[in-house]
Amino acid sequence: MKIWQPEKTLLIAQAETLAATCYHLAMAGYRDGSPWSVATFTSNLQAAQQHYLFLKQGDTLCGFLSYSQVLDEIEITNIVVAPAWQQQGWAWFLWQEWLASLPSAQLFLEVRASNTPAYQLYQKLGFTVIGRRKAYYQVPVEDAILMKKEWKVQ
């Protein structure tokens, strides 16, 4: 398994193909399916402040992490690993590789209240709860737990 972080120009050029792949990974990897449509992924891949890091096995994309960055604030917008690769440490590997590439920053994310495996991973990574958004997710309706981590380069 290896990490692939394409340049922004490549993300833009391949946005439609990558968006379809991200959507299918999210549909399969998230318990309640993808929170985003293919069109949302396409737009997101093309946005200047958005970045993607992919997990690859050979030529197959097995997962990804997406985030937006404005100055020293980073919001993680998606992290998903295909079901065949879940519970094997690949989400942890993806996180660790990504964190090693970051400058010092404030990291933010939200997680479904019922997504215990993700919540536990984020706690293990040092994220703390800073709030809750009532009925944030729509299918099914569910709260989002807001989390934050102060990342300092060692």
Q: How far apart are the first and last CA of the chain?
A: 26
Q: Is 110 an annotated catalytic residue? A: yes
Under a CB-based contact definition with an 8 Å cutoff, are residues 25 and 54 in contact?
A: no
Q: CA 105: distance to chain centroid?
A: 16
Closest CA to 1 of 121, 126, 83, 89: 89
- SS3 at position 52: strand
Residue type, 73: E
Q: Catalytic annotation on 122?
A: yes
75, 110, 137, 150: which one is catalytic?
A: 110
Per DSSP, 1 falls in state -
CB 140 within 8 A of CB 35: no
The H or E element that residue 137 is part of is: strand 128-138
Q: From the candidates 122, 136, 137, 142, which is the catalytic residue?
A: 122
Annotated active-site positions, please?
Answer: 110, 122
